[in-house]
Structure 1
Amino acid sequence: MDLDKLLSFQWGMMTPEFLILGTATILAVLDLFMPKKMNRNILGFFGLAGIVAAIVSLTLLLGQDTASILHDTFRLDSFAKAFKLLLLGGAALVMLLAIDYKPKEGMEEYRGEFFYLFMTALLGAMMMSSSGDLITLFVGLELLSISSYILAGIRKKNTRSNESAMKYVINGGISTAITLFGMSYVYGITGTTNLREMAGLLSQIDNPQHVYILGLAFLMIFVGLSFKLASAPFHMWAPDVYEGAPTPVTAFLSVVSKTAGFVIMMRVILSVFAAVPSNDSDLPLLFSMQDYIGFLAGATMIIGNVIALRQRSIKRLFAYSSIAHAGYILVAFSAMSVVMFDSIWFYLLAYLFMNLGAFAIIQLMTMKEGTEDISHFAGLYRRSPLLAGAMAIFILSLAGIPGTAGFIGKLDIFLGALMVDPAHYVLVSIMIATTVVSYFYYFGILTQMFFRPAAHHEKIALQPGTVITVIICAAATVVFGIMPQLAFDFFNSNFNQFIDFLQ
């Protein structure tokens, strides 16, 4: 490829990615040459500035028509724009938590590594959002995964952090192998890695044996990506990793990484398998596989919520809560209604604010007390009424109580599952039942904060980055709960129902 051809591409559509890549590179170089005793938090602020610049550049691209470069391997469509906003917004809030994070065993010598690895993980997630090719999807997935493995074990002197990183690497390697094996079947049948070309070729398949192989490919890709989502029964790594990883990394995995998991699942499965004809009916193969997705969604909701009842560690409890919420989103994915994209995007938006806000307060409490036991939340209302009030907002939203963004998110998924024919009554029933079960452990935290006496009445020192995160998250959780149309109007006016997703 000559220079003129290279310069003819519309590189401007990759401005957010270039900003994140440039920031990560500069952070790595600065960390290398900065004096060892110099405070690395300045790198965190520089990284935050890079994320904000990427958000600004992305908002300037919202009105741009759908375009692609490099033989359609990178697509800037409404799907990519919508989910990149979630990824970048979540990353900015996590970065604020990371700047304030100071574990008792110390992490200063690795803090610079933390910031630029965080940026590379974000870059991988953003690449997945815009990928139109299996190769770039896989590269983005591995960039996110490998950075996340290192971040989970960044506290090198902490045995639980080391254990969590090891379990994460092993489970992540297995899931990657399964996913890649499934992708290889699709490539073997079509002879291309481009998603649009695949869809065109697969729509003409009439060999029953090829359809059977594609069914196996679907199951392997779906199972492999289910590890990334921490959906049952592939969730076994999540509680240990969430507990052992630094709290900002746990927040990143529960929100940004989970969003990226749903992004790649929708990109691959909807782009490829919605075009494959089924042997048994006139519907595409994807609709024949709805029962498998529904079964996984039901199992994920049940296992996540039931096991959470027995947890005493707040981070393990939120790990199982995160598993349960993946199940709720899988209900929308299983139903495949006309409002599927709206429901999933809004739920991930609501989940971003309510979960990150809760983790901001968890970080303050665990750094102060040196332990993650729920009992240390006792009497929080008397020690810090504002923190207790904000935590109550996040807990009520996670539980799906009316007046919060979490309630609107669950209601959208609920209605979407009922509007299809046939309606998913079993999944909806499981969703309602498990939501009621979640009240027991969510309200257990509220009981500790408001109705249990505190062991001591020492005030909690507030940190600026964490306070900003809590305020933003609490305000957004309430506003989108009372006026959800603000988010839906923004979605409809800027992303046009993702009609360009398969074009």
Structure 2
Amino acid sequence: MTAFDKTDIRSAEAGLKYFLFGSTASAFTLFGLSFIYGMAGTTSLADIAANLAGQSLSPLLFAGMVMTLVGFAFKIAAAPFHLWAPDAYQGAPVSSAAFIASGSKVASFVVLGKIVLIGFGPVQGSADWHAMVTGWSPVLAVLAAFSILIGNLVALVQTNLRRLLAYSAVAHAGYTLLGIIAGGREGFSATLFYTTIYAFTLIGAFGVVALVRRETGGDDLQNFAGLRTRSPLLAGCMAVFMLSLAGLPPLAGFFGKFYLFSVAFRAGANHGLLWLVVLALFGSLISLYYYLIVLKVIFQTRGAETGSLASLGQNGLSNLTIAFAAAVVLFLGMAPQFLVTRILGTLQ
């Protein structure tokens, strides 16, 4: 899918990088799980947890656990294992990039959460700042911290919207890990809620990118200049998506972040994950700048008066799909319990 556009050398480059990094990630995951199987003697997550409950965290078990987590870090584009993401997001066809950014990431987080919370539950450890205990929790906390910092800081200097969204995705992977680190049913539900709304947001944003790219031939920020005059609908929807990613109310991204941060804040003894919550809040403040830069280009920068841009309003089905995604983001921001209660019900 990443290398589907055979006329674009960047698509071939993105496909090669995605294949190499994906193969490496799968190798790490399988090698790590083979260690776990050797220690537990089973592939059932419940039986693995039962067997690990009576064992100390041996070096071999810890190595297998770390390799498994590293493999999933590649899949979710968590720093420092995110190097494939910017080229894949920019070089792949827009539809493929949207799927990688949404569906693939949701599936990876679901599987990661089930493995660590069910199978590795007895060796969770602690990421509390005042009492760290070796386990998978501090490993994920380090990945989350790196992702939030690197993703947001590098996104500040991007001039291509797809690369900006790629580095933004790295930061959002860090935010999403907070729910898994917090653990428990509520922590995992916060992760599932956030990945769901993030998927709708990214699908809508990449839909706008696809239409603008079709009409202008590019997806740099300058290609979005004056979009509000060419297609007020697309400009308005893009504002919804960017502000939701920034975590501003009353959009779904605000409640998603609030849910994640509050769960992490309450986790551990004496608010032990407070350091990670503060870092995530700081990262959200940084992200607000580059999301507003995108909106500044769309609403305040004058674009070239080209006739082709007028056809943006003629893509009826595409516009309807984008508007639906924006409506979902708005609805889940004002009525988040509609999805939260259903997620919690499935986790009983």
Is it true that 1:454 corresponds to 2:324 in the alignment? no
In the alignment, structure 1 residue 173 sits paired with structure 2 residue 23:
yes
In the alignment, which residue of structure 2 is the partner of 1:99? none
CA contact (8 A) 2:124 2:137 kept: no
Shift of 1:187: 1.2
Tell me, yes or no, if the aligned pair for 1:230 and 1:323 is still in contact at 8 Å: yes
Q: 1:271 to 1:189 in 2, by over 3 A?
A: same
Displacement, 1:404?
Answer: 0.1
The answer to whether the aligner puts 1:440 opposite 2:292 as a matched pair is no
Letter of the 1:453 counterpart: R
Structure 2 residue aligned with 1:195? 45
State the distance in 1 between where 2:71 and 2:341 align: 34
| Rounded Cα–Cα distance in structure 2 between residues aligned with 1:287 and 1:270 | 15
What is the CA distance between 1:182 and its match in structure 2?
A: 0.6
Within a 5 Å distance, the mapping from 1:144-159 to structure 2 comes to 151-159=1-9
- In the TM superposition, residue 455 of structure 1 has moved relative to its aligned partner by 1.0
Contact 1:346 1:409 in 2 (8 A): yes
Instruction: Answer with 1 or 2: which has the greater Rg.
Output: 1
Report the CA distance shift for 1:389/1:425 in structure 2 as closer, same or farther (over 3 A).
same
Query: Aligned ranges for residues 307-318 of structure 1 at < 5 Å?
Result: 307-318=154-165
CA separation in 2, counterparts of 1:184 and 1:288? Answer: 18
Partner residue, 1:476: 328
Give me the whole-angstrom Cα distance separating, in 2, the residues matched to 1:442 and 1:413: 20
**Alignment CA distance shift 1:179-1:277 (3 Å):** closer
Q: Which of 336, 339, 342 pairs up with 1:487?
A: 339
Residue 416 of structure 1 corresponds to 263
Match of 1:368 in 2: 215
State the one-letter code of the partner of 2:206: F
Q: How does 1:281-430 map to 2 (within 5 A)?
A: 288-336=135-183, 338-422=185-269, 423=271, 424-430=273-279
Structure 1: segments with no counterpart, 5+ residues = 1-150, 279-284
Which of 119, 137, 159 is equivalent to 1:272? 119
Distance (Å, rounded) in 2 between the aligned partners of 1:411 and 1:195: 30
State the Cα distance separating 1:287 from its structure 2 match.
Answer: 7.2
Residues 144-194 of structure 1 deviation map (CA, whole Å, 9 limit, x = unaligned):
xxxxxxx10111221111001111111111111111111111111222222
Which residue type is aligned with residue 193 of structure 1?
T
Residue 88 of structure 1 is matched in structure 2 by: none
Give the structure-1-normalised TM-score.
Answer: 0.64
Residue 182, structure 1, aligned to residue 29, structure 2: no
Contact residue 172 and residue 227 of structure 1 kept, 8 A: yes
- Helix, strand or coil: the match of 2:268? coil
Deviates further, 313-322 or 414-423: 414-423
Q: Distance in 2 between matches of 1:342 and 1:249?
A: 27
> What CA distance in whole angstroms lies between the structure 1 residues aligned with 2:122 and 2:182?
17
Deviations 1:332-378 (A, max 9, x none): 22222552122111111211221111111010001111112101111
Question: Which residue, out of 14, 39, 58, partners 1:164?
Answer: 14
- SS, match of residue 321 in structure 2: helix
Secondary structure of 1:403's partner? coil
Task: Check conservation: 2:239, 2:295, Cα contact below 8 A.
Answer: yes
How far apart, in 2, do the equivalents of 1:386 and 1:468 lie?
10
Check 1:277–1:448 CA distance in 2 against 1; reply closer, same or farther (3 A cut): closer
Superposition deviation, residue 456 in structure 1: 1.2
List structure 1 segments (4+ residues) > 6 angstroms apart after TM superposition: none
Deviation at 1:478, TM superposition (A): 0.8
Root mean square deviation of aligned Cα: 1.8
Report the secondary structure of 1:491's partner residue: helix
Deviations 1:101-146 (A, max 9, x none): xxxxxxxxxxxxxxxxxxxxxxxxxxxxxxxxxxxxxxxxxxxxxx
The size of the alignment, in residue pairs, is: 337
Distance of aligned partners of 1:489 and 1:176 in 2 relative to their CA distance in 1, 3 Å threshold: closer
CA offsets 1:88-110 (integer angstroms, 9 cap, x no match): xxxxxxxxxxxxxxxxxxxxxxx
